[in-house]
Each structure stands twice: as structure tokens, then as C-alpha cells.
Amino acid sequence: MMQSRQGHGFSAPGGVHFGPTGPVPRMVKTLVAVNLGVYVLQLLTPGDLMISLFGLIPAQVNRLELWRLFTYQFLHGGVWHLAINMLMLWMFGSELEQRWGERFFLKYYFLCGVGGGLTYAAVRFGTPMASVGASGAIYGVLMAYGLWFPNRVVLLAFLFPVRVRHVVVFLIVVELLQAIESTGAGIAYAAHLGGMAFGYVYLRWWGSASLGLGAVPSWHDLRRAYYRWRFRRLQKKRFGGGSGGGGAGGGSGDDRPTYH
């Protein structure tokens, strides 16, 4: 897995540490315990009863069974699915909760989970295919960690020193590829992207005043941005679009089909 330098968790010879510093904060421990407990319940109940009752099924969300946007986050498709999500929550969520406090952390965690669920339900509109797991919320946590500690150096596979922002991108790409290639039940990449997008927007704008990530944009900021956009459009109309400057180039991949 991942092992960090410069101040992360359990010390090892040579000044290398594994995991977050200090004790695991209360909300992360609670979330891990609840996820483990719910998974035990899944094993004790017959078939897919828990998923049918509490999984994220877009067709049922359309019937206003909105609790599924919360409950699907505590269900998992197997031990490996659960273990990876909880490991990521422990490694990345602990330090965020230490910085933010448990109340804000929990609010952010559920915002990303619900945001991922809404995105999945929109992409799979009206289908009976269920989605389960905490990955929407976890991807939001990864996004937040990358924003807060972009230059933190970690050891990837205990060997390669890499900055956190690159590790986060790597993990996101790997899990997205796994989701795209998967043919069984699981969480769609739309839930991952939705969790990251909701988390990014919240931290950059609505939640930014309390997190020090930049001020909330004022009406004057928005108006200036609008006039800059109009000015660029007028320049393009008068002098032509030109190939040298500013195309965004190749799509972002957001229009890819959803796979499980």
C-alpha cells in the first residue's frame, strides 16, 4: 500500500511512518465501526435483502425513497471492497478530521456520499441496478486531502516517493479503470466522480470561508468574470479563434458511458 514520510502515523526504522499521526479521531472510528457492523448484518441476512431495502436503486429513488442516498454508503459488495474503502478512510480521513473537527468532517463526508449517489441516480436514471459502498464519500475525502496537502510526500508501494496530489490522481484513475472494466455489481464511476465534484465545489466555494481555501466569490467577482468572458468572446469574433491559444483540447472524459 502506501507509506508516508514526514510525519505520518506509526513509526518505522529510518523515519518512515505508516498511516495518520496520533490516535484515530472519533468520527473516523465511528464510521469504520458502523460500516463493519452493517457488513456483518449483510452476511447474516438472506440473499441481497439489505441491498434491495437500502441500496441505491435509481428506480426507487425516483419513487422518492430518498433514504437510499444515505444508506447505500454503508453497504458493500465484499470484504475487499469494504477493506479498501475503510483503509482509505483511515489513511486520508483521519488527518482531515483532526484539522476540521468531527462535525464539519461528518457533514463533508455525507455531502460527498449523497452527491455521488445523486450523480449515479441521474446517470442510471430509472434503472433497477443497485449501487453500494462508501466510495462516493471516500473519493470526496481523497479530493479534500489532495487540496489540503498537495505536496506531502508519500511512499507508493513502500518504494517510490510521490507527492500526494499525484498519488490521489493515480488511485482515482486505477479505481475508475477497475469500475469501467467491471462487469458485476458495484459502484459506477459516476458515483466516484460525483463525490469528488461535490466535494471540490463545496471546499472551493461554499465551505471555503472556514477552510481557508479562498474566499466565497462575491457578486463583484462574478461580474468581473462575466465581463472577462465577454471580452474574450469579442476578441475571438474580431480576430478569429486562432489555434495557438486557448483550446481546452481533448475532452475530459465526462461523456463516457457508465459501467459497473
Q: What is the model's pLDDT at position 1?
A: 42
What are the residue ranges spanned by the domains of the chain? 2-211
Torsion sign over Cα 22, 10, 172, 192: negative
pLDDT tens per residue, range 58-102: 899 888 989 999 999 999 988 998 998 999 899 889 989 998 889
Residue 255 has phi, psi (to 5 degrees) of -95, 10
Q: How far apart are the first and last CA of the chain?
A: 24
- Which CATH superfamily includes the segment(s) 2-211? Rhomboid-like (1.20.1540.10)
pLDDT tens per residue, range 244-255: 433 333 333 333
Mind listing the pLDDT tens digit of every residue in the chain (260 residues)? 443 444 444 444 444 556 676 788 999 999 999 999 999 999 999 888 898 899 898 899 888 989 999 999 999 988 998 998 999 899 889 989 998 889 999 999 999 999 999 988 888 888 888 889 898 999 999 889 888 888 887 776 667 788 888 877 776 676 667 656 554 444 467 788 888 889 988 888 765 544 555 444 445 555 566 666 666 667 666 666 543 433 333 333 333 322 23
d(CA 181, CA 189): 10
Q: Which residues of 147-165 are buried (b: 16+ CB within 10 A; e: fewer)?
A: bbbeebebbbeeeeebebe
